[in-house]
Copies of this chain bind each other. A is one copy, B any other.
């Protein structure tokens, strides 16, 4: 583990924690402040800020501070990047299965 971590590493790592997924889930329904994100979570505000920093470093969340309130938003492009990585592998696998099915059907015809 000496890798300097890619964006995909950071995004999947960020999504691997239930508290962070809960934060993303909350943000999927609209922007929120740090305290609003913290409210349903059974942990200190400091812990929430640390989770938020992980989310921000991953690119999944963008934040902006106005006055004393830090407002957080989802970054859908990042979400889409993670989604696409999985989707491409799954589709490759399914296309392969389709080809295999075609091949088996053909060889059956020829027998």
Q: Spell out A's residues near B (CB within 8 Å).
A: 3, 6, 8-9, 12-13, 15-18, 21, 24-25, 27-30, 74, 76, 79-80, 82-83, 85-90, 92-94, 96
> In the complex, which residues of chain B have a beta carbon less than 8 angstroms from the beta carbon of A6?
18
Besides A28-B96, A79-B93, 15 other A-B contacts (C-beta < 8 A): A3-B18, A6-B18, A12-B12, A13-B16, A15-B85, A25-B89, A28-B92, A29-B92, A29-B96, A74-B93, A76-B93, A79-B86, A80-B90, A83-B83, A83-B87
How far is it, in angstroms, between the C-alpha of A17 and the C-alpha of B8 when the chains are bound? 9
Q: Which of B15, B28, B90, B96 contacts A12 (CB 8 A)?
A: B15
